[in-house]
Chains A and B, each alone.
Chain A
Amino acid sequence: MQSISHATRTGNGSRKGGLTLVELMVAMSVLMIGMLALTSSSLAAHTLRRGDHQQQLAGAALHSMMETTRAVSSAALTDITGWGHALPAALAPGGSIGNTFDVPGLEPWEGARSVGTIGVIVDETLTDGELGLDMGLPRDLDNDGAIDNPDVRANARLLPIVISLRWRGVGGDRQLVRGFYVLGY
């Protein structure tokens, strides 16, 4: 059979050209590493995209619930029970808005009933440390000049709201927590 040689003349005069098994394995390894790099970068990009999408969903839901809370707060101003009672009632379990919500496209944490929760703080003695947020608490919420009322609902002029979203992210559990104030006037 005709052969193609990639010959080199050696000291003993024999011609031993061509690719050795080692050379072939090295070449294949380089090729495999290249393909693995491409695949892993593609997977990483996909993971990043999914994570980014989830983050956007969470951010949009948070913003929507903040606006919804403001709208409910605005309507509560004319409620006969008083703003301080009407708003927490709307954001309590069974209220017109409720204290939990789900976000299409996001899965709640293991064991949690929903992705989002809303909390109204009516205790003006609560501190930022106890809340775990930087909201400038404790603060006079009923405008009586003192910070001593554990339930300001009867005369509230200002209420802190905390919205939390906790979802199963691509790389593990994620959460987004935001605190803000609504005004009772």
Chain B
Amino acid sequence: MRRTTDQSGFSILEVLISLSILSLVMSGFLYALNGEVSRMQGMVSTSYHGLTARNLLVRVKGELEYGRLITPEAFLAEDLGGGTTNGLRVNSTLGFPDQGRLLLGPGEAREERIGYERLSADGMELLDLERGQACTSGAGHARGSVARWAGTASFIENQSTPGASEFDGVSQELFGPRFYRGDGTGVVFQSSIASAPGESRFDGTDVRWGATVDAQAITGACSTLRFAPVATVTEADRDFDFNGDGDRSDSFELGSIHLRSWNPAVPGDVTDTALCPPIVLQETCQPAADLDADGFQDPIFLIDPRTGWVRVRLFVLAGAIQQTPVVQRLEMALHVRNINQS
């Protein structure tokens, strides 16, 4: 009878080593798989917000393309003291949104951004002022000074060698850098409207310009597309350099683009709609600051009043991929068919 040997198989040590190696390999495999799943989830989320922002651009184009641009600008009808907060009389508030921010003394030592909450019924006064907004200080401004709605950023006339006080920034466009004035946080316009559903949008041979307020098409009403901040995010909190300037000390406003329409003839008659969730970034206290470290300012809205060219540039906080925030830059230019009205 032959003796049965029992020498095949693995020892416990061999099995343990094999299992350990297998466990390590499987752990790495699962880690990689988990990372990929997480990355894909982040991608889906950022893609969604990117799509939202692109839809926003399409909506903006739809609102502006056949509209008429307005550049709200007025002259001070009286001297304005540094601490005055009740009201500011101007020669006209035509085109000024029912609430917003003025830019006075741009490029000068007394440059000031002044918030206002409403317009007077006679259309000659901006009321309930908040002095020294956006990190500026209250200053005195003489009668006759120009008061612009701060939101509008437009090309200046002299594009070759403007003086430092003649422009607020330089924006890099596809066709080269352009000097501009203003904050670029909004644009004011009117749309062609019908007097009643199904009726003509013409009044004789002229286009009937206005806006829809509270579902009513109102001749003479105006609209604005503007950035409305709702929260603040800091680079320190997120541990992320949003604008790529090499530090983590900047603060940003996170907001959405609103379509606000108002009837100048009836104070308080206003419709305000957010066109996107709060995903748009702007640097705190520095409207139109450089957000992609290319050395040029990045106003959201920029206008060439000579040609009707409007460029919309959004920096969108689209989400995070594996805890790393994702900022997407989206841009669109359009030709507004009706030349600028002041």
Contacts and interface: CB of A to CB of B under 8 A. Distances in A.
A63 interface: yes
30 contacts: A3-B6, A3-B9, A3-B11, A4-B15, A5-B6, A5-B8, A7-B9, A15-B7, A17-B8, A19-B10, A39-B32, A42-B36, A45-B40, A49-B43, A61-B174, A63-B333, A64-B174, A68-B174, A68-B335, A70-B335, A71-B304, A71-B336, A74-B307, A74-B308, A74-B339, A75-B306, A97-B175, A102-B174, A104-B294, A116-B174
Interface string A18-39: 1100000000000100110011
B29 interface: yes
Contacts of B161: none
Question: Interface extent on B, as a size class?
Answer: 35 or more
Give the size range of A's interface with the partner. 35 or more
Nearest to A32: B25
B204 interface: no
Interface of A: 1-7, 12-19, 31, 34-35, 38-39, 42, 45, 49, 60-61, 63-65, 67-68, 70-72, 74-75, 96-98, 101-104, 116
A138 to B, nearest CB: 27
Contacts of B33: 38
A40 to B, nearest CB: 12
B98 to A, nearest CB: 29
A98 B178 CA distance: 13
A68 B333 contact: yes
Contacts, number: 109
A2 B8 CA distance: 12
Contacts of A16: 8
Contact of B4 (A13, A72, A98): A13
B25 A31 contact: yes
